[in-house]
Amino acid sequence: MESASLLVQTLNKAAVQPRIPSSVFEGLFVRGLEPNSPLLRALGAEGYDPKCPDVDYPMQVWKRCVALARDLVYGELSDAEAYRILGRKLTEGFADTLVGRVAAVALPMIGAARVVERLPRYLAMMGRPDLEVRVVSAGERTRRVTIFDTHNRPEFIAGALEVALERAHVQPLITVEERSHLGFRLLIRW
Amino acid sequence: MAYPPRLGHLATRPVVVAKLTPTYARAHRIDEEEAAQRLSSALQGRLLPSLLEEAWLAMRGKSKRLDDEGLLEKVATTLRDRPMRPGRVAEASPAWSAFLVLADLEAGTASEAARRVMESPEGRQRAQEGLAEVGRFLAAELTRGR
Residue A1: pLDDT band by 50, 70, 90 thresholds? Answer: very low
Q: pTM (2 decimals)?
A: 0.85
**Could you report the per-residue pLDDT of B72-89, keeping only the tens digit for each?**
999 999 999 899 999 999
**How many C-beta atoms surround the C-beta of residue A27 within 10 A?**
25
Is the minimum CB–CB distance between A117 and chain B shorter than 8 Å? no
ipTM over cut 0.90: no
Contact residues, chain B, for A101 at CB < 8 Å:
92-94, 97-98
**Cross-chain residue pair A124–B116, CB shorter than 8 Å:** yes
Residues in B touching A121 (Cβ below 8 Å): 120
Is pLDDT of A148 > 60?
Answer: yes
A103 in B contact zone (CB under 8 Å): yes
Q: Which CA distances in Å does B58 have to A47, A115, B54, B137, B143?
A: 44, 35, 6, 9, 11
The predicted-structure confidence for A85-135, as pLDDT tens digits, reads as follows: 999 999 999 999 999 999 899 999 999 999 999 999 999 988 899 999 999
**Short-list A39, A87, A98, CA closest to A64:** A39
- Closest Cα of chain B to A189: distance in Å? 26
Chain centroid to CA A115: how far? 15
Cβ-Cβ pairs closer than 8 A, A with B, add up to: 62
Judging contacts by C-beta atoms under 8 Å, the chain B residues touching residue A102 are: 94, 97-98, 101, 117-118, 122-123, 126
Could B94 and A56 be called an inter-chain contact, meaning their C-beta atoms sit closer than 8 Å? no
What Å distances lie between residue B89 and A68, B20, B23, B27, B134, CA to CA? 35, 8, 5, 10, 12
Q: Please tell me which residue of chain B has the smallest CA distance to A57.
A: B111
**Tens digit of pLDDT for each residue in A3-16?**
555 555 544 544 56
Tell me which residue in A99, A106, A129 faces B114 most closely, judged by beta carbons: A99
Nearest to A101 by CA among B96, B125, B120: B96
Which residue in B has a C-alpha nearest to residue A105's C-alpha? B94
Which of the residues A22, A102, A107, A110 would you substitute to probe the B interface, choosing the one with the greatest number of B C-beta atoms within 10 Å? Answer: A102
Give the helix/strand (H/E) hosting A134. strand A133-137
